[in-house]
Chains A and B, each alone.
Chain A
């Protein structure tokens, strides 16, 4: 039971980590809680589903298409909603983000309807289905194994991207100081767009994974997952990418144990409670440094 919950928690945590990274990257650069990020995750799940069921696209191709569409959505969202407000008070940008989230969620509701969507039999390759193997008496489905490895692989890629490449260096420079970065010849707008694209793409991966794992896709899925992932980002110290990954896994495991041992009804509450406690007692997060306010 204990280890079983750990495996479930790691799976869930991987998903949260993928979403949380998107939040934290955007926050790191433009200092905005992108509430619509959870909605991008939901759109990722829906788009992959639609490509597979409506257009009969093979599943791997559908994944790629869905990720690219979501990355594009992220860039468009930033361009239309957030960019004009970059020089406006923060409150305005935050309210815009909430508006965008509300809008996207209800657009999805209009297009796909409020009913739960499930992948029909045979649309997902067998390898993704629950072909189980056992570690002792712990049941690990192949799907869970895949999810955990995919997550860790993507995290690794992201880490390389941020630390080793030119655009990654530019992103870190913008996170520190946009004005100085632009004086050094960095195209700040392009870097911000790129950040949104990467974050949204990872969010879409998480959405697709959850869609397959629970085999349940619905317009409201983005809202709870989004907030929990934000909690994960806060837990690890917002703006801190390894922190977000760590926070995601911690939160996933905590939620899984909480649901298993305490009460399954309060499953969502555990994430919120952790978030509130962390914000109150350690607002810079578990891994974050003491926040230095720019004066």
Chain B
């Protein structure tokens, strides 16, 4: 009987996944009560919320380079689409009155933002995903820049560089359940989010759902098809996988997670402007995926946490020198270079990614480069010729 290869090269993560996630949840759940941190607590809460937001984003991005083996440099475009969907719906629909004001409800906005993200993912992905590799990367980059340009220029809608201020916090309004709840409470239940704690639990919940979905996706039919495409496109196609379809699905799902992250960001900050959606944001998220290990869910969680904390701490330390605050991104550049040079499969590598990324075998390398690299319009014909 062939030996089963463990999923991660670090055996702790392959064997004890429930333990890992359980411990993580236990530590994270009580962060709002860590009063022993004293003055640092507020800041710690902020960093935790940011980390969890970026974990959601990085896990969303991870589908593209990690699961399907393509490079997506325009993830922030979907993040921006989600944020502006949420911001605009909140601001414009609240003024319209019933029945339209339901659209300014955050719980309605989440699926709408996800749908809008997925829609743009499909619109961008369907024509471009047949290009593999570097052309695809550069197209996604162009797309995210175009999104930002539209936001900057369409003043009538987005107020351009001035941004959208005063986006209301989400709330829970159970007035419609009053006929039931009145037996327990005197007044209708209405709760508006204030301070950091409710947002903390909201994003914690989102993160748990995301991690859960990603874990299920990984083992699903969809996930296995993606891995097959990543490892060898031609072999995958020969096994009856419709490559285009699975790639577009991957792109749509990835985009919708980006949009959900964006919608949270808009409602949490209450202010969005094009400055938040610069190209480097995409690279930062990519850096998280690369640091943790492409395709590795615990790795991406680790990568996002480490980089967000590092970024925020550096921001604090470098505050007296405004130029250096921006220049801290140089560090992320170095991280990308060093990781690719010495640990291309990341800190918590997937066994199969590690095998491919650090291979010395010419044939594996060639297969991988071909499927990453060729302009595959003639792919079908080529594989027939072969």
Contacts and interface: CB of A to CB of B under 8 A. Distances in A.
B131 A283 contact: yes
A94 B72 CA distance: 11
A102 B283 contact: yes
Contacts of B328: 106
Contact of A293 (B139, B337, B365, B374): B374
B373 interface: yes
Interface stretch (A4-12, A123-131, A273-281): A273-281
What's the dominant secondary structure at chain B's contact region?
helix
Of A87, A100, A106, which is in contact with the most chain B CB atoms at under 10 Å from its CB?
A106
Interface residues of B, number: 64
Interface in A247-263: 263
A12 B369 CA distance: 35
Contacts of A227: 138, 141-142, 145
B149 interface: yes
A280 B139 contact: yes
Contact of B290 (A95, A114, A263, A273): A95
A215 B138 CA distance: 29
Interface string A76-119: 00000100110111111111101111111111011001100000
A32 B373 CA distance: 10
B261 interface: no
Contacts of B131: 279-280, 283
Interface stretch (B27-35, B219-227, B375-383): B375-383
Interface string B327-357: 1111011111101110010000000000011
A33 B146 CA distance: 20
Contacts of A98: 73, 283, 286, 333, 336
A85 B341 contact: yes
A83 to B, nearest CB: 10
Given A94-B71, A227-B145, A291-B375, A99 B333 contact: yes
Contact of A283 (B150, B326, B372, B375): B375
A33 B141 CA distance: 13
A90 B146 contact: no
B383 to A, nearest CB: 9
Interface stretch (A63-71, A151-159, A264-272): A264-272
A106 B333 contact: yes
Interface in B205-259: none
A280 B152 contact: no
B370 interface: yes
The range of chain A's interface size is 35 or more
A99 B368 contact: no
B271 interface: no
A109 B323 contact: yes
Given A87-B360, A94-B71, A100-B333, A293 B138 contact: no
A89 B283 contact: no
A87 B326 contact: no
Interface in B130-177: 131, 133-135, 137-139, 141-143, 145-146, 149-150, 152-153
29 contacts: A33-B138, A85-B341, A88-B344, A88-B365, A89-B356, A89-B357, A89-B368, A91-B71, A92-B340, A92-B344, A95-B340, A98-B333, A99-B287, A101-B333, A102-B332, A103-B330, A105-B333, A106-B333, A109-B326, A109-B330, A227-B141, A227-B145, A230-B138, A268-B145, A276-B146, A279-B139, A283-B375, A291-B374, A293-B378
* Top 4 A-B residue pairs of the complex, sorted by shortest distance between their CB atoms: A99-B336, A103-B333, A102-B333, A106-B330
Given A103-B337, A109-B326, A234-B138, 13 more contacts: A33-B134, A88-B344, A98-B286, A100-B333, A102-B336, A103-B334, A109-B323, A110-B324, A269-B146, A280-B139, A283-B375, A295-B385, A295-B386
